[in-house]
Every structure is written in structure tokens, then in C-alpha cells.
Chain A
Amino acid sequence: MTPSQARRPTAWVGVLTFLVLAATWYALTTLTHTISPGRFPAPGETWDALRQIAITGYADARLHEHILHSVKLVLLGFAAATLVGVPLGLAMGASRAFEAFINPSFLLIRPIPPLAWIPLAIVWLGLGDAAKVLIIWFAAFVPAVINSYSGVRAIEPHLLEAARTLGVPRTMFVREVLIPGALPMIFTGLRLSLQACWTTLVAGELIGAIAGLGHVLYQASLDIFPAMIVVGMAAVAVTGAAMTALLGAVERRAMPWRAR
């Protein structure tokens, strides 16, 4: 990890990169027409699309309503994935027997893409939020399990030895040794989980959404409206990054002993 002092010049380069890219984008589309508007939208068109969705609305709602809808789904999926995945991963990490028993099911479910669950989600759960959250859940619970598991495995053996020798009771063991020890990797898993939630959101909102950023992207693809697609992608990226930053803040609070 680069120390924060070295980060600042990098941040400026990042801003510069975006400016250069924006300028190139403008040049290639509006100035020289190297890229025709049918292929990729020009900055002007994208700005118009942004104004349209923010002010007048697009796909049955305005931008902030879409964002709220999606954030709600992401939080639900994230919560469900965490509540199931983290304890499961911890248990698998702590008990070899439990791991041996659960692993086959995990290995059977894991390689199936979330999008492939849509037909079953619809017939089992209908067109409401439950079906969408299920799709998101399938993507998000995998990193939660794997990283919680790795987190337990990474705990220094002598800490576990010590706890065992001292005869620490089960609940205290979990609360004071297992979870704090695995916490760094649990948070890595949570971060990956959150990212998976956002990327799967688009798939989830294919199931009868009436608002949401995925819904915007779907409608824009049906309208063949590339400028709006870019706006949708940007909105997903910004909101996703914001939520991840929030999670990072929670992580720092939860693990004050970790010098970042």
C-alpha cells in the first residue's frame, strides 16, 4: 500500500487522466467525427441524457429515484449475503468437518452465473424484490464465504493454541478470537461482495423492475440510446464507489488497530 503522502500526486494524475480522456472523447466525437454518434455518444449527447434523466425523468422515474431503488436492492442483497456468507465461511474455516460437509454444495452452486438463475427466480419468487435480491445474493455470498473462510485460516496458529489451552468457552472464542482475527479478510470479502452486488444489480433488475439503474440500462438498450447507457453506467460506477468508500470508513472504525 502506498503511503498517503505518495497518494496525493497520484490523485492529481488521476484527475489529469480523466481530463485528457474527456478532451480526447470530445475531439473524437464532436470535433472530428471519427467515432460516429451511432457507435458511441459524444460528451454533448451524454450531458443532455444526464439532464433528461435528472430533471424530466427517464424509464418512469428520475435519476435520484432510480439510484434509491438500486441502493435499496443492493443493501438487501448485501445484508442477505453477509448474514449467510460470513457465518458460513467462519464455520467452514473453524471446523474441518463442517467444511468437508458443506463444500460439495458450495462447489455445485458456485460456478453457476447469477444471470442463469433468473428463470428459476421468476418462477419461484415472482417479479418482486425477492427475486432480484436472490440474483444479487448468488453473486455476493461467494466472496463473503471464501474470504471469511480464508480469514479464519489466516489466524496465527499460536493464538488458537493459546485459546484452546486456556479453555476459552465457545461463544467467547468466537467473539474475542475468531472474529477479530478474521476481520481483515472478512472486510476484504465484504468489499468484493459489495462490488458483486453492484455488478449483478443490472442482471437482477431485468426481473420486472419499475425503477432502478439496471432498469434504466435495460430501457436504454431497448431504445438503443447509447448516451443514456453511458449515463447509467456512470451512475452505477459513482454510486458503487461511494458505497465502497462508506464501507471503507466502517472498516477503519471496526479495525482501529490496523495502520492503513
Chain B
Amino acid sequence: MSAAAVSNGLPFRRWLTLSVAGFVAFFAIWWLIAASGLVQRQFLPTPPEVIEKFVALTQSPFVGYTLQQHLASSFGRFASGFGLAVLIGVPLGLLMGWFRWLDAIVTPLFDALRFVAPIAWVPFAALWFGTGIGGPMLIIFSGAFPPCVINAYRGAKFVEPRFIEAAQTLGASHFRMITEVLLPASIPSIVAGLRISAGLGWQSLVGAELIVASSGIGYLLVKGQANISTSIVMSGMIAIGIVGFAIDALLRVLERRINARRGIAG
């Protein structure tokens, strides 16, 4: 997508000033509403109060662990669910892009399951996996899986026909076609899918941790709620937001690097 505006972006100074202003405005409005008494103070703490609680959570444990430890625990669950989604989803998408019969079989299933929220799988996760990482993994997997498949599929489907023809003329087997033609050509789409997938997977984490009662940022959130501590709840939300943002930023850098190497404008 090329830059449409004639003015090719703002000068850096202006962009920086406006961004900082926007950032400050967000907290200013929050602070104002909190201080105005529109909402009970207990249920809308001011930014400094939340930050104080956030820092406190990194130093002293709440429900057994510090904030970082909870995050690490959650990240482990996320990584396994996301990893599995990529491992199964990307190859499946490529195969669907190549074998039309597979596409015809899987697509209706996909369309059917698309509206089912990851959280709806929680009871089955408890039933099938009980304790351990399997349960949360299933929830995160159900959130992260679709974009992996869809983007790999789209990437494979829209590969330049002449590449495919060339490979076919050279007598490429199905396996080689997929691994040496479709996969490389689909990388930009796949990586874009990874970003969306990671985002959805990380978001499913709170739902995934509904059956967990040991550690995790989602668990911390619920316990903060049960303690009538809005600061803890908001600290948890901020932590989730920061890590989610970081994961996305990292993948965006990866996406840009890969696209740059191929001469595609990021």
C-alpha cells in the first residue's frame, strides 16, 4: 500500500510533538476523570496510584509471585500455544493453497469455527487436559491458529503463476513445489499473519488462565478483582498491554526486515 497523501508524512519534529501531546493527553484525561469524582476513587485510581501499585507488584509478590514472574508464566503458556499454532497452521495453509481438495474440505470447517470464541473452549480444555499446560495451550491455540492458516493460504494462493508454471515445467514434486516455491513467495503474507496471530494468541491468554489457579497475569487480574483492588487490576491490564505491544513491535520489525530484503515497501 503506497503512501496516498501527497504530503509524504509529517516532518519528524511535528510528528514527535503531536505523538507526545497525544500520549500526555491520554493520561491527563484519565487523571482528570479520576480526580473529578465522577467515578468513585476506589474504582478509578489516578495514574500515579496505578503506577505505584504496578511498581509495588514488581517488588513484592501478590498471589505467590511478583508481576514479572506472573508475566513469565503467562508468556510460557502463550509461547507454547502460539508455537503450536504456527507449526500446524502455516504448513496447513500452504497445503490448502496448493491442494484445492484440501481447501474445499477445510474452508467450510474454518468458516464454521470462526465465530467460536477461544473462551468457549475453556470447558473442553478443562475436560480434556485437566491440569498442566495443555488446557491454556488449547485456548491460545484456538485464537492464534486461524490467522496463521489464512495468511499462509493467501500467500500460497496468490503466488505469481509463472513461478508455479516454471517449477512445474522443471518437474517439481508437490513437496518441492510447496517448500521451494510457495513457502518463500508466501513469507511476507505469513509474517503478516504471525503478527495478527500473536496478537490474538496473547489476547486469549486471559481467557486461557480462567482454569488456572497458580500463576499468570490473567490469574493476577482475577485475584486483584476479588480483592477489590482496582489498582492491581489496572496494573495487570497495563502489563498485558505492554507485553502485547512489545510482541507486536518485535514482529513488525521482523516483517519490515523481511519485506526490505525482498524490495517490498514495509
Question: A residues near B, CB below 8 A?
Answer: 9-10, 13-14, 17-18, 21, 38-40, 96-97, 100-105, 107-117, 119-120, 123-124, 150, 152-157, 160-161, 164, 195, 198-203, 217, 220-221, 224, 226, 229, 232-233, 236-237, 240-241
If the complex has contacts A13-B105, A111-B240, A198-B115, are A119 and B233 also in contact, measured as CB distance less than 8 A?
yes
If the complex has contacts A17-B105, A154-B4, are A124 and B123 also in contact, measured as CB distance less than 8 A?
no
Let me know if B221 and A203 touch, CB within 8 A.
no
Which chain A residues border B4 with CB–CB below 8 Å?
152-157, 160
Stretch at the interface among B15-23, B162-170, B175-183, B254-262: B15-23
User: Closest approach, in angstroms, between the C-beta of B251 and any C-beta of chain A?
Assistant: 12
**Bound state CA distance, A103 and B44, in angstroms?**
23
Let me know if A39 and B128 touch, CB within 8 A.
yes
Let me know if B230 and A101 touch, CB within 8 A.
no
Q: Is the interface of A mostly helix, strand, loop or mixed?
A: helix
Q: Which of A38, A105, A157, A200 contacts B25 (CB 8 A)?
A: A105
Chain B, residues 32-56, CB within 8 Å of chain A (1/0): the string is: 0000000110011000000000000
Interface residue count on the B side (C-beta < 8 Å): 67
User: Closest approach, in angstroms, between the C-beta of A213 and any C-beta of chain B?
Assistant: 10
**Bound state CA distance, A123 and B234, in angstroms?**
13
Q: Which of B15, B101, B105, B117 contacts A100 (CB 8 A)?
A: B15
If the complex has contacts A111-B244, A237-B113, are A229 and B22 also in contact, measured as CB distance less than 8 A?
no
Which chain B residues border A160 with CB–CB below 8 Å?
4-6
**Bound state CA distance, A97 and B199, in angstroms?**
27
> Which A residue sits closest to B234, measured CB to CB?
A120
Let me know if A123 and B43 touch, CB within 8 A.
yes
Which chain A residues border B101 with CB–CB below 8 Å?
13
Which chain A residues border B104 with CB–CB below 8 Å?
9-10, 13-14, 17
**Bound state CA distance, A161 and B21, in angstroms?**
30
